[in-house]
Structure 1
Amino acid sequence: MPGSSPPRTSRLGKLPRCATGLTGLVRFARVWDGEPCPVADPAATATRLDEDTQTAYDALTPAGAELDPQRSAGLLAYNDSCSHRGLSHWADRFDDAPPLVPGVVNVSAEWVLKGVSDEEAAVALRRARAELVRQGWRVTEYENAAPNRTLRVTPDGSGGVSVSLRVDAFDGDRLLVGAYAEWARYPDGTPLDGRDRPRLPEPLAPAQLRKWLREGRRGRPHHGWRAAPSACTAVLL
């Protein structure tokens, strides 16, 4: 009608547009600040990685191998490479010593076997690959020809902190077994050591060889000896 006011637009009709704008802001914030790290208890992560390396040992069944304590790192939590994420920290990539993210660590478990010949390593890697695949691990890298013998696997599945497991032959008679978790933020109140790193439990794997050392036995376990099947399974945190 002449002189009548134009129809008023309902505010409800504007809500979808506002919601779209908020979604865009959230996405931009994630790109700008970076994806947040998952939160995980470092001690629990270390225990599970230790179990994963035990799983690898039981799959390898390296007869006659010994643990090499001097070259075994054990369970570690470190933040030496946990740099900030996101576009807001893009310039940090060009810094020789970029600032580290406080409260975020990588957790790993590593130990070394000695007395494993190249021929034994080749057989052990083939056996481990088949057994870990049977248990549900996914092979991401495999090379089994001298001088490069390596196996990389990850648990099949998703969710939680990503985990990887590796076995490498080196120095002619050594096998390195390691399990690694991605960066994760530890909860407030996590016990720290003297270097302000999370306290971790003592490693147990490979249980059979650590027991051998604790009992003070000398020499190599005899070649007819085999590891007992492990009850450990591959897990995601």
Structure 2
Amino acid sequence: MEHMDSRRPHAPEPQSLDFEIFFSEKLKARGISLKKLSEESDIALHHLENLLRGNFEKLPPAPYVRGYLITLGRILDFDGEEWWQSLRAQNLLEDSGPHDMLPRNRFAQKPVRKALWGAGIVILALALYLAVRLPSIVGIPELQISFPQEEQVVTSHQEILFEGRVAPGARLFLNGEEIPAAPDGTWSVEVPLSPGLNVVEFSAKKLLGQKRVVRRRVIFQPEASTQDIPPIQVIPRSETHPSQ
């Protein structure tokens, strides 16, 4: 009884298959076009077309083709080094000389281009961030007092309520002390008063901008208390007697 080998058959060796046929099958298996492969591999489209047609004489010297095959092998899942050795053994590739090396400046340019691309992306992101955030960190902020709207108020209450709105992101101060505001910029605060004239100062400032100041004058006139009024003394009228 013959023993059946259930192991998966090996992929064809480079020597038993023309590269153009192998390359075509890999493209079909991956479902990728030459144009898309050119974009992913950074290999010129006409070089890929020459590889697919077997026009090796139209390709650059061997070191360049080696780089192409290794790159394509990573994308299409095959051993590019093995195929390069096979094509060289068949004298299908143009030899670039005894050292068979790529020019140094070819590899020196790519990191520079990548660095420039990276710097450009960072600069663009920073510019977009500043375009969005700049209005909230520079300039004179908006500051409004919606209540009371009068610049001078007379009240008999010991506290007065102020309400208003400040530009979102700006810091709000009451008589030099910072007070909180809602995310949309609205705020309210009760201010204690002293008898007589009270000058209430609100100010707002952005991170890199100038300060806006709004003032209100509040006169506190406490209501008179009956305990503070001195009692009225009634002096009885003296009786007069006619002189004898």
Same fold (TM over 0.5): no
Structure with the higher fraction of residues in helix conformation: 2
> What TM-score bracket applies, with the shorter chain setting the length?
under 0.3
Greater gyration radius: 2
Report the TM-score when normalising by structure 1. 0.24
TM-score, normalising length: structure 2: 0.23
